[in-house]
Amino acid sequence: MVYLLTRKPTESRLQPGMAALQETTVVEVARRVAAYRDALDLPLLLGACDRLIEERDPGAVDIWVLAGHAAPAGIFNGDFATAPLNHGFDWRAVESPGVTHVNNRIALSGQEAEAVSLLAQTLILAGGKRYRLQWEARTAGFKSPSGLEWRVAGQQVPLAASEDWTAGEATINIEDRFNRLELVYQRPLGESRAEGNVELRHVRLVAL
């Protein structure tokens, strides 16, 4: 069962016939693994969930729930009440030189790349609908424009530089079920690379 969760069927070295198993079988195997309720199996389940997310397979949702989480609906962990798992439908702190993550706080050293992804989350949404993305942010050391922006479904939404908590929102159009929400830093033209930090809270996505 462990092998089926961690290897693609085409990569399997198991007996003939097993290698032809469909991807949906991964969910069935995950159910059996989850039934043991062994915490040591959690990384295995999350790894399988990640793999299906990469392949845009809806079975990822089933495995996420089997791993003990609520089915994804809008933003998961939008208040950063728990440290991001960096797996599944939780936030993923994107590691890169010059960037440091501490829960909902992201620090840039001034040595980061001119364009760098900072934070991301896979969203499961209803295609063909409009949503309102909402958040609160505060920054330190950023000029205006900050160079910080949300990116989702081919749309870009800037974050304002502010030393006080500031609410922001934007309406976005969604066409596909699987979407990637990403916080990105892009050095503004004519400015040096940012050296400072940004904090986030109350990130929400509301269907319109």
Question: Consecutive 10-residue runs of the chain (208 residues): their mean pLDDT?
Answer: 45 38 69 87 93 93 94 95 96 96 96 97 96 98 97 97 97 96 97 97 96
Q: Are 86 and 93 in contact (CB under 8 A)?
A: yes
Which pLDDT does position 5 carry in this prediction?
59
pLDDT of residue 53: 95
For 4, residues 6+ apart whose C-beta sits below 8 A from its C-beta are: 12, 18, 21, 25, 26, 29
Its pTM stands at 0.86
* Residues 14, 21 contacting (CB under 8 angstroms): no
Could you tell me the two tokens for 110?
């001034």
Domain 92-207 has CATH 2.60.120.260: yes
**Amino acid 116: pLDDT:** 97
* Residue 106 β-bridge partners: 101, 198
- In this structure, which amino acid lies at residue 121? Q
Q: What is the dihedral of CA 166, 85, 156, 139, to 10 degrees?
A: 30
List where CATH 2.60.120.260 sits in the chain: 92-207
Rounded Cα distance between 116 and 95, Å, is 10
State the Cα–Cα distance between residues 206 and 95, nearest whole angstrom.
28
Distance, in Å, from the CA atom of 174 to the CA atom of 40, rounded to the nearest integer, reads 37
Q: What is the pLDDT of residue 54?
A: 94
Name residues whose C-beta falls within 8 Å of residue 192's C-beta, 6 or more positions apart in sequence.
110
Which ranges constitute the DSSP H helices of 97-145?
none
